[in-house]
Amino acid sequence: MVKISAVIITLNEEKVIERCINSMQRVADEIIIVDSYSTDKTEEISRKLGAKFIQHPFNGYRDQKNFALQQATYDYVLSLDADEALSIELEESILKIKENWQHDAYKFNRLNYCCGQWIKHTDWYPDRKIRLLDRRKGEWCGANIHEVVEMKEGSKVGVLKGDLLHWTYNSYEQLVEVMNKYSTLSAKEYFNRGKKSSFIKIVISPLWRFIHSYFIRLGFLDGYGGFFVSISAAKLNQLKYVKLRHLYLANNSKLNHQHPLLAKEGFRIGFDAKRAFYNRSGLGNYSRNLIDSLAKTDNTNTFILFTPKIENRIILNQHTENNISIISPSKIYRKTFGSLWRSKFIVRDIKKQKINIYHGLSHELPYGIKKSGAKTVLTVHDLIFLRFPKFYGAVNVFIYKKKLEYACKVADKIVAISTQTKDDLIDFLKVDPKKIEVIYQSCNSVYQQKIGQEEFQSIQAKYNLPDRYLLYVGTIEERKNLLNIVKALKEKRVEMPLVVVGRKTEYFHKSVKPYLVDNRIDTIIFPEKVKNDELPAIYQNALCFVYPSIFEGFGIPILEALTSGIPVITSKGSCFEETGGLGSIYIDPQNPNEIGEAILKIIENQELRSDLTKHGIEHAKQFLPEVIADKFMNLYKSLL
């Protein structure tokens, strides 16, 4: 029999939460409430009914629900809203599939209660939803208005009998109010994505929506309620396109009366967003953090994200949805050959989208970019492939170098993420220093938020973490030098466990693992598949962060540690002292004895830990997302 975790997100739900929790008591092996700091009796009621209660800042429905998925003890998760409850028939269906789980997810009908009546027809029913899933195969996705569960390609979805009961609006006045709100949000979203309004969409589309809901879907059988729901759906559709038309008219009016480059008018800034959507570390984190901070702090400009595909992508933070657009290839053959589109054919789309500035976030710009008419910015993270070619292979080094040489040549401005990277660009590629600007990278703002003890305990139990531990975060590869940390712990007989979070490479299996086995070392913990949202808690509860990398372009884990309020041990030279400041102890990464001595100092000296932490937090302020975003906006404006 499989075990099911039930999760609910809440904010001031004292009127409905008891009904929701009680409906899941028979089917759920645990019930978790993720709450956005309610001020009513939601917590009291939830705890009384035996639910685990976790508080977490709200950053949109989608992100909050994904966070809730991550808190579950079990991989099979039932996700409900507080104003929903399982019907008896649906409870029985779930109990049966617990005995014989056959699919990756299950969907079931949702029956909506509106203004004193169950709506059993119209477009509102069956309103089938996926709410029971294997979290390893799916997650919450979608825009900021209606989040939906999306499963990975090839996943099997079954259907369960029984209704999910949903209490919607208590009055017609409330329905009209929500309809007006959603139509405004939808219009803004469509505008930012370049969708257009038309006479057909304003007049014919709402009429068809009413006919479909009231006649084809038998809404008339629900009497006055069916009529009102159908006419409301039609009106919502019409309002959306009317408001969308007004947005375009207002925008065109500004264009006709103001110079297009005035700050009030805003720019259209394009990004190579492939890694933002599909890389979960390094370059992906840089891309996501920059896009997120720009979109969060700037509501004047529009940010267009170019990606060769959109399926199964990493979802950006909720608040960015209102001022970003996502562009992917429209033609099938370009979708098929996404890399070719990204390196060449994308230029046509950049021109079509009237991009003012195109920013290559990771060493590349498309060939022929000058034909687009856009100004170009290139971010260069490091030249490790030239400094240490043995880590990459001759073919890869040749390709990387050719791409970077071309990008540096055509870029109007090059951003180096550290002085070390700027110096390498000048030394290795002979780039004009006047063309390079150093703008450090930031880390995700979630590292600034203090994680509650209950939330950490949930993560601690999930990954079987000790109460006190040292921490390493990063890909487990030769350059990152994990083996010397392990040797240092052995030589100095450090008993405190080391938690290692990162993807294992061939280096781990050929070098690190054999050393652990040969020396019978069992104090190294490797938690698997740690989510980005869980990292702040793991950082904040570590005693110290150890990062003796041989070379980096910036070393973002160092900044994450400092922002989290823990001291750092890292390498001398390279960019490390730029990133680590006075909040770090610097060692020779090739000397395990020196690494071990530094670890013992931090373990044994509370005063030293406090001093390093204080300096680290102060040093990290210069890397705050809003500070970095402001520097980039000044750079963009200087090009126009």
Q: What is the pLDDT of residues 338-382, one digit of tens each?
A: 789 999 999 999 998 899 999 999 999 999 999 999 999 999 999
**What single-letter amino acid sits at 233?**
A
Mapped onto helix, strand or coil, the DSSP state of residue 407 is helix
Q: What is the DSSP string of 142-179?
A: E-SSSEEEEEPTT--EEEEEEEEEEE--SSHHHHHHHH
Distances (CA, A) of 9 to 17, 150, 452, 529, 549: 10, 18, 17, 23, 40
pLDDT (tens digit, 9 = 90+) per residue, 65-107? 999 998 999 999 999 999 999 999 999 999 999 999 999 999 9
At 606 the pLDDT is 95
What mean pLDDT is predicted for residues 467-491?
A: 96
| pLDDT number for residue 328 | 84
Q: How confident is the model at residue 193 (pLDDT cuts 50, 70, 90)?
A: low
The model's pTM is 0.63
Q: So what's the pLDDT on residue 258?
A: 35
Strand order, beta sheet including 498-501: 524-525, 498-501, 470-473, 544-547, 568-571, 584-587
What does CATH list as the number for 268-442+628-638?
3.40.50.2000
* Mean model confidence pLDDT for the chain: 90
Share of the chain above pLDDT 70, in %: 94
Return the C-alpha torsion angle 256, 261, 263, 264, nearest 10: 10
Q: How far is CA 354 from the centre of its chain?
A: 27
The better pLDDT of the pair 292, 596 is held by 596
pLDDT at 538: 97
Cis peptide before 625 (omega within 30 of 0): no
Give the CATH number of domain 451-623.
3.40.50.2000
Among the ranges given (42-51, 167-176, 411-420), the one the predictor scored with the smallest mean pLDDT: 167-176
Instruction: Measure the CA–CA gap between 496 and 469, rounded to whole angstroms.
Output: 6
For residue 171, name the pLDDT band (cuts at 50, 70, 90).
Answer: confident
308-318 pLDDT, tens digit per residue, is: 987 667 766 64
Residues 6+ positions from 34 with CB-CB distance below 8 Å: 7, 8, 9, 10, 54, 55, 56, 64, 67, 68, 71
pLDDT tens per residue, range 251-262: 555 444 433 333
The average pLDDT across 560-571 equals: 97
Alpha-carbon span 53 to 510, nearest angstrom: 43
Model confidence band, residue 299 (pLDDT cutoffs 50, 70, 90): confident
Q: Give me the percent of the chain exceeding a pLDDT of 90.
A: 73
107, 131 Cβ separation under 8 angstroms: yes
Output b/e per residue, 23-40; b: 16+ Cβ within 10 A: bbeebbebbbbbbeebee
Instruction: Taking residues 556-560, report their average pLDDT.
Output: 95
Q: How far is it, in rounded angstroms, from Cα 569 to Cα 612?
A: 10
Ranges assigned E (strand) in 92-152:
105-114, 117-119, 129-134, 138-142, 147-151
d(CA 27, CA 37): 27
Query: Which of left, alpha, beta for 354 (phi over 0: left; psi -120 to 50: alpha)?
Result: left
In the block, tokens 């210069």 appear at 622
Residues 435-448: pLDDT tens digits? 999 999 998 888 98
Euclidean distance between CA atoms 90 and 96, whole angstroms: 10
pLDDT, one tens digit per residue, over 198-245 is: 989 999 999 999 999 999 999 999 999 999 999 999 999 999 999 988
For the segment 572-616, what is each residue's pLDDT rounded down to a tens digit?
988 999 999 999 999 999 999 999 999 999 999 999 999 999 999
Answer with the residue of higher pLDDT: 270 or 184: 270
Task: Give the class (CATH, top level) of 4-167.
Answer: alpha beta
DSSP states of 266-320: --EEEEE-HHHHH--SHHHHHHHHHHHHHHHH-SSSEEEEE-S--TTPPPPPGGG
